[in-house]
Structure 1
Amino acid sequence: MYIDGFNLFRRALQGHDERKWLDLEALCMRLLPGYDVGQIRYFTARVRHVEGNDPRAPQNQERYLRALGTLPSVSLHFGTFRADKRWMAMSPIELEDSGRPRRVRVRKIEEKGTDVSLAAHMVSDAMRGVADAYFLLSNDSDFVEALRIVRERAGAEIGLIVPGGKAARGLLDVGIDEMRVVRPHVLLESQFPDRIVDESGAFRRPPSWRSAEAPLRREGPRAG
Structure 2
Amino acid sequence: MEHYNVKIDNFEGPLDLLLHLIQKAEVDIYHISLKTIIEQYLQYVQTMQELELDIASEYLVMAATLLQIKSNMLLPPSSKESADIEDEYDAEEKLYEQLIEYKKYKEAALSLRKKEKRSGFRYSKPADTSARPLPFAKEKRTVSLFDLIDAIQRLKDRQVKENRPVTTTVEKETTTVTNRMTEIILTIKERKRIRFEELFSVQEKSHIVVTFLAVLELMKNQQIRCVQSNNFADIIVEAREE
Q: Relative contact order (C-alpha < 8 Å, sep 6+): which is higher?
A: 1
**How would you bin the TM-score normalised by the shorter chain?**
under 0.3
| Larger helix proportion of the pair | 2
Q: Tell me the TM-score normalized by structure 2.
A: 0.21
Rg larger for:
2
| Larger strand proportion of the pair | 1
